[in-house]
Copies of this chain bind each other. A is one copy, B any other.
Amino acid sequence: MKKRVVIVGGGFAGLHAARILGNRSDVEVTLIDRKNYHLFQPLLYQVAMAALSEGDIAAPLRNMLAGYENISVFKGLVRNVDMEARTIDTDFGQIAYDYLVLACGVQHHYFGNNDWEEFAPGLKNLAQATEIRRRVMEAYEAAERTNDLVERKKLLTFVIVGGGPTGVELAGSIGEMSRYTLSKIYRHIDPKLTRIFIVEAADRILGTFDPDLSSRATRELEKLGVQVWTSSAVSAVDVNGVQIGRERIEASTVLWAAGVQAQEIGRHMGVETDRSGRIIVESDLTIPGHPEVFIGGDQACVTHQNGTPLPGMAPVAVQEGKYIGRTILGDLKGRTRKPFRYFDKGQMATIGRNKAIVQFRKLKFDGAAAWLTWIVVHIWYLTTFRHRVFVLMQWAWSYFTLAHGARLIVNKEWRFYGSERKGCPDAQDK
Protein backbone atom coordinates (compact mmCIF):
# COMPACT_ATOMS: atom_id res chain seq x y z
CA MET A 1 0.00 0.00 0.00
CA LYS A 2 1.25 3.45 -0.89
CA LYS A 3 2.55 5.72 1.80
CA ARG A 4 0.93 9.15 2.02
CA VAL A 5 3.43 12.00 2.17
CA VAL A 6 2.10 15.46 2.91
CA ILE A 7 4.41 18.37 2.17
CA VAL A 8 3.51 21.79 3.51
CA GLY A 9 5.25 24.52 1.59
CA GLY A 10 6.23 24.83 -2.06
CA GLY A 11 9.48 26.70 -1.58
CA PHE A 12 12.93 25.29 -2.20
CA ALA A 13 12.77 22.55 0.45
CA GLY A 14 9.22 21.40 -0.24
CA LEU A 15 9.58 21.50 -4.01
CA HIS A 16 12.78 19.49 -4.07
CA ALA A 17 11.44 16.92 -1.62
CA ALA A 18 8.39 16.51 -3.88
CA ARG A 19 10.50 16.05 -6.97
CA ILE A 20 12.54 13.28 -5.39
CA LEU A 21 9.29 11.50 -4.52
CA GLY A 22 7.70 12.19 -7.89
CA ASN A 23 6.61 9.20 -9.96
CA ARG A 24 7.72 6.71 -7.33
CA SER A 25 5.18 3.92 -7.22
CA ASP A 26 5.13 3.49 -3.46
CA VAL A 27 4.26 7.05 -2.42
CA GLU A 28 1.30 9.38 -2.88
CA VAL A 29 2.28 13.00 -2.38
CA THR A 30 0.10 15.95 -1.41
CA LEU A 31 1.77 19.35 -1.56
CA ILE A 32 0.01 22.31 0.02
CA ASP A 33 1.07 25.93 -0.24
CA ARG A 34 -0.78 29.11 0.63
CA LYS A 35 0.31 30.43 -2.78
CA ASN A 36 -0.15 28.82 -6.17
CA TYR A 37 3.43 29.50 -7.21
CA HIS A 38 7.01 28.69 -6.31
CA LEU A 39 9.00 31.83 -5.68
CA PHE A 40 12.69 32.22 -6.41
CA GLN A 41 13.28 34.36 -3.34
CA PRO A 42 16.92 35.33 -3.93
CA LEU A 43 15.71 37.51 -6.79
CA LEU A 44 12.85 39.21 -4.92
CA TYR A 45 14.93 42.34 -4.53
CA GLN A 46 15.12 42.60 -8.33
CA VAL A 47 11.33 42.82 -8.46
CA ALA A 48 11.35 45.33 -5.61
CA MET A 49 13.85 47.41 -7.58
CA ALA A 50 11.88 47.10 -10.81
CA ALA A 51 14.55 45.29 -12.78
CA LEU A 52 12.39 42.18 -13.14
CA SER A 53 8.66 41.52 -13.16
CA GLU A 54 6.79 39.21 -10.80
CA GLY A 55 6.32 36.61 -13.50
CA ASP A 56 10.07 36.38 -14.06
CA ILE A 57 10.86 34.92 -10.65
CA ALA A 58 7.80 32.84 -9.90
CA ALA A 59 6.24 29.86 -11.65
CA PRO A 60 2.95 28.09 -10.91
CA LEU A 61 3.51 25.03 -8.71
CA ARG A 62 1.13 22.98 -10.82
CA ASN A 63 3.30 23.46 -13.88
CA MET A 64 6.43 22.48 -12.05
CA LEU A 65 4.89 19.29 -10.70
CA ALA A 66 2.51 18.45 -13.53
CA GLY A 67 4.72 15.67 -14.81
CA TYR A 68 4.38 13.66 -11.62
CA GLU A 69 1.21 11.60 -11.58
CA ASN A 70 1.52 10.80 -7.89
CA ILE A 71 1.64 14.43 -6.73
CA SER A 72 -1.48 16.47 -5.96
CA VAL A 73 -1.11 20.20 -5.41
CA PHE A 74 -3.52 22.26 -3.36
CA LYS A 75 -3.54 25.95 -2.63
CA GLY A 76 -4.59 26.28 0.98
CA LEU A 77 -3.66 26.97 4.58
CA VAL A 78 -2.54 24.46 7.17
CA ARG A 79 -3.90 25.47 10.54
CA ASN A 80 -2.87 22.66 12.83
CA VAL A 81 -0.83 19.50 13.08
CA ASP A 82 -1.89 16.55 15.24
CA MET A 83 1.18 14.42 15.58
CA GLU A 84 -0.57 11.73 17.63
CA ALA A 85 -3.35 11.17 15.12
CA ARG A 86 -1.01 11.91 12.22
CA THR A 87 -3.39 14.37 10.60
CA ILE A 88 -3.24 18.01 9.59
CA ASP A 89 -6.11 20.49 9.60
CA THR A 90 -6.35 22.67 6.53
CA ASP A 91 -8.87 25.28 5.46
CA PHE A 92 -10.33 22.71 3.09
CA GLY A 93 -10.48 19.68 5.35
CA GLN A 94 -8.42 17.24 7.36
CA ILE A 95 -5.68 15.17 5.74
CA ALA A 96 -4.03 12.07 7.18
CA TYR A 97 -0.35 11.36 6.58
CA ASP A 98 2.22 8.65 6.95
CA TYR A 99 5.00 11.19 6.53
CA LEU A 100 4.76 14.91 7.04
CA VAL A 101 7.21 17.48 5.72
CA LEU A 102 6.90 20.99 7.08
CA ALA A 103 8.76 23.57 5.02
CA CYS A 104 6.77 26.74 5.64
CA GLY A 105 9.63 29.21 5.73
CA VAL A 106 9.92 32.40 7.67
CA GLN A 107 8.43 35.86 7.81
CA HIS A 108 9.72 39.15 9.00
CA HIS A 109 10.27 39.89 12.65
CA TYR A 110 10.01 43.32 14.17
CA PHE A 111 11.33 42.39 17.60
CA GLY A 112 7.95 42.76 19.20
CA ASN A 113 7.05 45.97 17.39
CA ASN A 114 4.58 44.70 14.82
CA ASP A 115 3.18 48.19 14.38
CA TRP A 116 6.42 49.09 12.60
CA GLU A 117 5.42 46.84 9.70
CA GLU A 118 3.15 49.49 8.19
CA PHE A 119 6.06 51.90 7.90
CA ALA A 120 8.76 49.42 6.97
CA PRO A 121 7.76 46.56 4.68
CA GLY A 122 9.92 43.45 4.58
CA LEU A 123 10.91 41.46 1.50
CA LYS A 124 9.83 37.82 1.74
CA ASN A 125 7.06 37.57 -0.83
CA LEU A 126 5.87 39.03 -4.12
CA ALA A 127 3.24 41.29 -2.59
CA GLN A 128 5.91 42.92 -0.45
CA ALA A 129 8.25 43.26 -3.41
CA THR A 130 5.61 45.13 -5.39
CA GLU A 131 4.73 47.23 -2.34
CA ILE A 132 8.36 48.25 -1.99
CA ARG A 133 8.58 49.03 -5.68
CA ARG A 134 5.47 51.16 -5.38
CA ARG A 135 6.80 53.11 -2.41
CA VAL A 136 10.18 53.76 -3.98
CA MET A 137 8.72 54.96 -7.28
CA GLU A 138 6.03 57.03 -5.56
CA ALA A 139 8.70 58.75 -3.51
CA TYR A 140 10.45 59.94 -6.67
CA GLU A 141 7.19 61.03 -8.27
CA ALA A 142 6.22 62.97 -5.17
CA ALA A 143 9.66 64.58 -5.01
CA GLU A 144 9.35 65.69 -8.64
CA ARG A 145 6.04 67.38 -7.84
CA THR A 146 6.89 69.25 -4.67
CA ASN A 147 8.56 72.63 -4.25
CA ASP A 148 9.18 72.20 -0.52
CA LEU A 149 12.89 71.42 -0.27
CA VAL A 150 12.76 69.84 3.19
CA GLU A 151 9.90 67.63 2.05
CA ARG A 152 11.86 66.78 -1.07
CA LYS A 153 14.90 65.78 0.98
CA LYS A 154 12.77 63.46 3.06
CA LEU A 155 11.22 61.93 -0.05
CA LEU A 156 14.67 61.32 -1.49
CA THR A 157 15.83 59.55 1.65
CA PHE A 158 15.72 55.76 1.96
CA VAL A 159 16.56 53.80 5.07
CA ILE A 160 17.22 50.07 4.89
CA VAL A 161 17.18 48.41 8.28
CA GLY A 162 19.49 45.42 8.34
CA GLY A 163 22.88 44.89 6.74
CA GLY A 164 22.66 41.28 5.61
CA PRO A 165 22.67 40.28 1.93
CA THR A 166 19.08 41.42 1.38
CA GLY A 167 19.66 44.86 2.87
CA VAL A 168 22.88 45.28 0.94
CA GLU A 169 21.22 44.26 -2.32
CA LEU A 170 18.33 46.66 -1.79
CA ALA A 171 20.56 49.56 -0.82
CA GLY A 172 22.97 48.95 -3.68
CA SER A 173 20.09 48.82 -6.14
CA ILE A 174 18.58 52.08 -4.94
CA GLY A 175 22.02 53.65 -5.06
CA GLU A 176 22.59 52.53 -8.62
CA MET A 177 19.08 53.43 -9.70
CA SER A 178 19.37 56.93 -8.30
CA ARG A 179 22.87 57.64 -9.58
CA TYR A 180 22.39 56.15 -13.02
CA THR A 181 19.01 54.89 -14.20
CA LEU A 182 16.84 57.72 -12.98
CA SER A 183 19.30 60.53 -13.28
CA LYS A 184 18.19 61.81 -16.69
CA ILE A 185 14.47 61.44 -16.68
CA TYR A 186 13.42 63.93 -14.05
CA ARG A 187 13.26 67.62 -14.86
CA HIS A 188 12.86 69.13 -11.40
CA ILE A 189 14.83 66.91 -9.06
CA ASP A 190 18.34 65.55 -9.15
CA PRO A 191 18.00 61.89 -8.20
CA LYS A 192 21.71 61.82 -7.42
CA LEU A 193 20.86 63.77 -4.25
CA THR A 194 19.12 60.65 -2.94
CA ARG A 195 20.34 59.71 0.54
CA ILE A 196 20.47 55.99 1.25
CA PHE A 197 21.26 54.52 4.65
CA ILE A 198 21.91 50.96 5.77
CA VAL A 199 21.30 50.80 9.49
CA GLU A 200 22.88 47.73 11.08
CA ALA A 201 22.91 46.92 14.78
CA ALA A 202 26.06 44.75 14.66
CA ASP A 203 29.53 46.19 14.26
CA ARG A 204 29.72 45.32 10.58
CA ILE A 205 27.38 44.53 7.69
CA LEU A 206 27.31 41.07 6.12
CA GLY A 207 28.20 39.42 9.41
CA THR A 208 28.16 35.92 7.95
CA PHE A 209 30.96 36.81 5.56
CA ASP A 210 34.66 37.28 6.22
CA PRO A 211 35.40 40.72 7.75
CA ASP A 212 37.57 41.60 4.79
CA LEU A 213 34.64 41.08 2.39
CA SER A 214 32.35 43.11 4.66
CA SER A 215 34.83 45.93 4.43
CA ARG A 216 35.08 45.79 0.65
CA ALA A 217 31.33 45.65 0.30
CA THR A 218 31.02 48.74 2.48
CA ARG A 219 33.36 50.63 0.15
CA GLU A 220 31.43 49.53 -2.93
CA LEU A 221 28.21 50.68 -1.34
CA GLU A 222 29.66 54.06 -0.49
CA LYS A 223 30.69 54.51 -4.10
CA LEU A 224 27.04 54.10 -5.02
CA GLY A 225 26.02 56.76 -2.52
CA VAL A 226 24.99 54.45 0.33
CA GLN A 227 25.90 55.49 3.88
CA VAL A 228 26.55 52.48 6.08
CA TRP A 229 25.79 52.99 9.77
CA THR A 230 26.94 50.10 11.96
CA SER A 231 26.51 49.67 15.72
CA SER A 232 23.19 51.38 15.07
CA ALA A 233 20.10 49.68 16.42
CA VAL A 234 16.74 51.07 15.37
CA SER A 235 14.72 52.04 18.42
CA ALA A 236 11.59 53.26 16.66
CA VAL A 237 10.03 53.43 13.19
CA ASP A 238 7.22 55.81 12.28
CA VAL A 239 5.69 57.34 9.20
CA ASN A 240 8.38 60.03 9.07
CA GLY A 241 11.50 57.97 9.54
CA VAL A 242 13.59 56.06 12.05
CA GLN A 243 14.98 56.72 15.49
CA ILE A 244 18.38 55.25 16.28
CA GLY A 245 19.00 55.91 19.93
CA ARG A 246 19.52 59.64 20.11
CA GLU A 247 19.95 59.96 16.34
CA ARG A 248 17.12 60.38 13.85
CA ILE A 249 16.75 60.17 10.08
CA GLU A 250 13.72 61.64 8.35
CA ALA A 251 12.79 59.35 5.48
CA SER A 252 9.58 58.72 3.63
CA THR A 253 10.69 55.18 2.71
CA VAL A 254 11.98 52.67 5.23
CA LEU A 255 12.58 49.05 4.25
CA TRP A 256 12.95 46.16 6.67
CA ALA A 257 15.69 43.66 5.96
CA ALA A 258 16.45 42.77 9.57
CA GLY A 259 15.18 39.86 11.63
CA VAL A 260 13.11 36.91 10.48
CA GLN A 261 11.12 34.40 12.44
CA ALA A 262 9.70 31.04 11.51
CA GLN A 263 6.06 30.63 10.63
CA GLU A 264 3.57 30.34 13.48
CA ILE A 265 2.75 26.71 13.09
CA GLY A 266 5.91 25.47 14.73
CA ARG A 267 5.04 27.17 17.96
CA HIS A 268 1.70 25.44 18.27
CA MET A 269 3.09 21.96 17.96
CA GLY A 270 4.61 21.75 21.39
CA VAL A 271 8.09 21.23 20.05
CA GLU A 272 11.35 22.89 20.94
CA THR A 273 12.23 25.95 18.90
CA ASP A 274 15.07 28.41 18.87
CA ARG A 275 14.69 32.10 19.59
CA SER A 276 13.33 32.75 16.10
CA GLY A 277 10.74 30.00 16.29
CA ARG A 278 12.72 27.62 14.09
CA ILE A 279 12.08 24.01 15.03
CA ILE A 280 15.09 22.20 16.47
CA VAL A 281 15.54 18.91 14.65
CA GLU A 282 17.51 15.71 14.97
CA SER A 283 20.38 14.85 12.68
CA ASP A 284 17.88 13.36 10.21
CA LEU A 285 15.82 16.56 10.17
CA THR A 286 12.94 15.07 12.15
CA ILE A 287 11.21 16.18 15.31
CA PRO A 288 12.55 14.34 18.37
CA GLY A 289 10.28 11.38 19.02
CA HIS A 290 8.53 11.69 15.65
CA PRO A 291 10.66 10.17 12.91
CA GLU A 292 7.77 10.55 10.48
CA VAL A 293 7.71 14.36 10.76
CA PHE A 294 10.44 16.20 8.83
CA ILE A 295 11.20 19.92 8.96
CA GLY A 296 13.06 21.51 6.07
CA GLY A 297 14.21 24.90 4.86
CA ASP A 298 14.25 28.10 6.89
CA GLN A 299 11.74 26.67 9.33
CA ALA A 300 14.25 24.15 10.62
CA CYS A 301 17.09 24.82 13.01
CA VAL A 302 19.81 22.45 11.90
CA THR A 303 23.19 22.34 13.55
CA HIS A 304 26.18 22.41 11.23
CA GLN A 305 29.07 20.06 11.62
CA ASN A 306 30.95 22.92 13.27
CA GLY A 307 28.23 23.50 15.86
CA THR A 308 26.63 26.64 14.43
CA PRO A 309 23.10 26.60 13.02
CA LEU A 310 22.78 26.45 9.24
CA PRO A 311 21.72 29.80 7.73
CA GLY A 312 18.33 30.35 6.11
CA MET A 313 19.59 30.19 2.55
CA ALA A 314 18.31 28.67 -0.67
CA PRO A 315 21.12 26.09 -1.16
CA VAL A 316 20.56 24.80 2.36
CA ALA A 317 16.84 24.40 1.76
CA VAL A 318 17.40 22.64 -1.56
CA GLN A 319 19.77 20.10 -0.03
CA GLU A 320 17.49 19.51 2.95
CA GLY A 321 14.52 18.94 0.65
CA LYS A 322 16.38 16.41 -1.44
CA TYR A 323 17.68 14.68 1.66
CA ILE A 324 14.16 14.39 3.07
CA GLY A 325 12.85 12.90 -0.15
CA ARG A 326 15.65 10.37 -0.33
CA THR A 327 15.34 9.48 3.34
CA ILE A 328 11.65 8.70 2.95
CA LEU A 329 12.37 6.51 -0.04
CA GLY A 330 15.17 4.84 1.91
CA ASP A 331 12.73 4.11 4.74
CA LEU A 332 10.42 2.32 2.32
CA LYS A 333 13.30 0.11 1.21
CA GLY A 334 14.21 -0.71 4.78
CA ARG A 335 17.49 1.22 4.80
CA THR A 336 18.97 2.86 7.88
CA ARG A 337 18.84 6.61 7.89
CA LYS A 338 22.06 8.57 7.51
CA PRO A 339 22.44 11.99 9.14
CA PHE A 340 22.04 15.10 6.99
CA ARG A 341 25.27 16.65 5.82
CA TYR A 342 25.29 20.10 4.27
CA PHE A 343 27.67 20.51 1.37
CA ASP A 344 28.73 24.10 1.81
CA LYS A 345 28.10 25.93 -1.42
CA GLY A 346 29.27 29.23 0.00
CA GLN A 347 27.41 32.49 -0.02
CA MET A 348 27.15 35.55 -2.25
CA ALA A 349 25.75 39.04 -2.21
CA THR A 350 25.52 41.64 -4.98
CA ILE A 351 26.14 45.34 -4.71
CA GLY A 352 24.71 47.21 -7.65
CA ARG A 353 24.84 45.77 -11.11
CA ASN A 354 28.39 44.64 -11.55
CA LYS A 355 29.87 44.12 -8.12
CA ALA A 356 29.43 41.24 -5.74
CA ILE A 357 31.17 39.30 -3.02
CA VAL A 358 31.56 35.55 -3.02
CA GLN A 359 32.81 33.37 -0.21
CA PHE A 360 33.22 29.66 -0.77
CA ARG A 361 34.88 27.93 2.15
CA LYS A 362 38.33 29.46 2.22
CA LEU A 363 38.01 31.13 -1.17
CA LYS A 364 36.79 34.69 -1.16
CA PHE A 365 36.71 37.24 -3.92
CA ASP A 366 34.81 40.28 -5.09
CA GLY A 367 34.51 42.50 -8.14
CA ALA A 368 33.30 41.63 -11.60
CA ALA A 369 34.32 37.96 -11.36
CA ALA A 370 32.16 37.61 -8.26
CA TRP A 371 29.25 39.22 -10.04
CA LEU A 372 29.56 36.89 -13.00
CA THR A 373 29.64 33.94 -10.62
CA TRP A 374 26.49 35.26 -8.97
CA ILE A 375 24.70 35.61 -12.31
CA VAL A 376 25.64 32.14 -13.48
CA VAL A 377 24.66 30.44 -10.24
CA HIS A 378 21.32 32.22 -10.03
CA ILE A 379 20.37 31.53 -13.59
CA TRP A 380 21.28 27.89 -13.14
CA TYR A 381 19.12 27.50 -10.14
CA LEU A 382 16.10 29.16 -11.63
CA THR A 383 13.96 26.12 -11.96
CA THR A 384 12.32 26.31 -15.33
CA PHE A 385 13.82 26.63 -18.76
CA ARG A 386 11.57 29.47 -19.69
CA HIS A 387 12.74 31.44 -16.75
CA ARG A 388 16.38 30.86 -17.47
CA VAL A 389 16.14 32.14 -20.99
CA PHE A 390 13.85 35.05 -20.38
CA VAL A 391 15.39 36.23 -17.15
CA LEU A 392 18.81 36.08 -18.74
CA MET A 393 17.60 38.28 -21.55
CA GLN A 394 15.91 40.70 -19.20
CA TRP A 395 19.10 40.98 -17.19
CA ALA A 396 21.15 41.44 -20.30
CA TRP A 397 18.87 44.26 -21.37
CA SER A 398 18.94 45.76 -17.91
CA TYR A 399 22.71 45.47 -17.71
CA PHE A 400 23.41 47.21 -20.97
CA THR A 401 20.79 49.88 -20.59
CA LEU A 402 20.48 50.23 -16.81
CA ALA A 403 16.84 50.18 -17.73
CA HIS A 404 14.95 49.10 -14.61
CA GLY A 405 12.08 48.98 -17.04
CA ALA A 406 9.59 47.29 -14.78
CA ARG A 407 9.05 50.49 -12.77
CA LEU A 408 5.27 50.33 -12.71
CA ILE A 409 3.24 51.79 -9.87
CA VAL A 410 0.10 49.68 -9.88
CA ASN A 411 -2.60 50.68 -7.44
CA LYS A 412 -3.61 48.26 -4.77
CA GLU A 413 -7.21 49.37 -5.14
CA TRP A 414 -8.73 48.23 -8.40
CA ARG A 415 -12.20 49.60 -7.86
CA PHE A 416 -13.37 52.93 -9.18
CA TYR A 417 -16.51 53.15 -7.14
CA GLY A 418 -15.27 51.94 -3.76
CA SER A 419 -17.20 53.61 -0.97
CA GLU A 420 -14.14 55.26 0.63
CA ARG A 421 -13.54 57.34 -2.42
CA LYS A 422 -15.34 60.47 -3.41
CA GLY A 423 -14.77 62.27 -6.65
CA CYS A 424 -11.37 61.27 -7.90
CA PRO A 425 -10.65 57.59 -8.30
CA ASP A 426 -7.17 56.24 -7.62
CA ALA A 427 -6.64 58.72 -4.80
CA GLN A 428 -3.04 58.49 -3.77
CA ASP A 429 -2.28 56.48 -0.72
CA LYS A 430 1.16 55.52 0.53
Q: Are A74 and B108 in contact (CB under 8 A)?
A: no
Contact residue among B63, B122, B407 (Cβ-Cβ distance under 8 Å from A36): B407
Q: Within the assembled complex, what's the spacing in Å between the Cα atoms of A125 and B426?
A: 11
Residue tally, chain A, CB below 8 Å to B:
77
Q: Mark A173-191, 1 if CB is under 8 A from B, else 0.
A: 0000000000011111000
Residue-wise interface mask of A (21-43) relative to B, using a CB-CB cutoff of 8 A (1 in contact, 0 not)? 00000000000001111000000
What is the distance, in angstroms, from A207's C-beta to the closest C-beta of chain B? 24
How far apart are the CA atoms of A53 and B229 in the complex, in Å?
38
User: Is the CB of A377 closer than 8 A to any CB of chain B?
Assistant: no
Q: Are A72 and B410 in contact (CB under 8 A)?
A: no
Binary per-residue interface labels of chain A (182-209) against chain B in the complex, 1 for a CB within 8 Å, 0 otherwise: 0011111000000000000000000000
Contact among B92, B122, B130, B427 for A410, CB-based, below 8 A: B130
Q: Do B405 and A386 touch across chains, with their CB atoms under 8 A apart?
A: yes
- What are the residues of chain B within 8 A of A423 when measuring CB–CB? 79, 264
Closest to A58 in B: B408
A409 within 8 A of B: yes
Whole-angstrom distance between the Cβ of A406 and the nearest chain B Cβ: 4
In Å, the complex CA distance between A406 and B55 comes to 5
Residue contact A75 to B405, C-beta cutoff 8 Å: no
Copy total for this chain: 2
A179 → chain B, closest Cβ, in Å?
Answer: 16
Enumerate chain B residues within 8 angstroms of A128, measured Cβ to Cβ: 414
> A56 interface residue, CB < 8 Å from B?
yes
A408 contacts B91, C-beta separation under 8 Å: no
Contacting A91 at CB < 8 Å: which of B35, B77, B93, B428?
B428
A127 close to chain B: CB less than 8 A: yes
In the complex, the answer to whether A410 meets B126 with C-beta atoms within 8 Å is yes
A136-147 interface code vs B (CB 8 A; 1 in, 0 out): 011001001111
- Give the chain B neighbours of A91 by CB distance below 8 A: 424, 428
CB of A375 closer than 8 Å to a CB of B: no
- A111 adjacent to chain B (CB < 8 Å): no
State whether the Cβ of A288 lies closer than 8 Å to any Cβ in chain B: no
Known interface pairs A56-B53, A127-B410, A423-B264; A185-B141 also in contact (CB < 8 Å): no
Residue of B nearest to A411 (CB): B127
The answer to whether A60 has its CB under 8 Å from any CB of chain B is yes
Give the chain B neighbours of A130 by CB distance below 8 A. Answer: 410, 414
A55 touches B412 (CB 8 A): no
- Chain B residues within 8 Å of A414, by CB: 121, 125, 127-128, 130-131
- Known interface pairs A53-B53, A128-B414, A406-B55; A92-B36 also in contact (CB < 8 Å): no
A153 within 8 A of B: no
Chain B min CB distance to A150 (Å): 16
- The docked-state distance in angstroms from the alpha carbon of A141 to that of B185 is 43
Query: Residues of B contacting A184 with CB < 8 Å?
Result: 66
Q: Are A408 and B37 closer than 8 Å at their CB atoms?
A: yes
Q: Within residues 361 to 415 of chain A, which ones have a CB less than 8 A from any CB in chain B?
A: 386, 390, 393-394, 397, 403, 405-415
Identify 27 residue pairs between A and B in the complex whose beta-carbon atoms are under 8 Å apart, listed by A's number: A34-B426, A36-B408, A37-B408, A53-B55, A53-B56, A54-B54, A54-B408, A55-B55, A59-B405, A66-B185, A72-B187, A75-B144, A75-B145, A76-B145, A77-B424, A77-B427, A79-B424, A93-B145, A121-B414, A126-B408, A126-B410, A127-B411, A127-B412, A127-B413, A264-B423, A390-B394, A412-B412
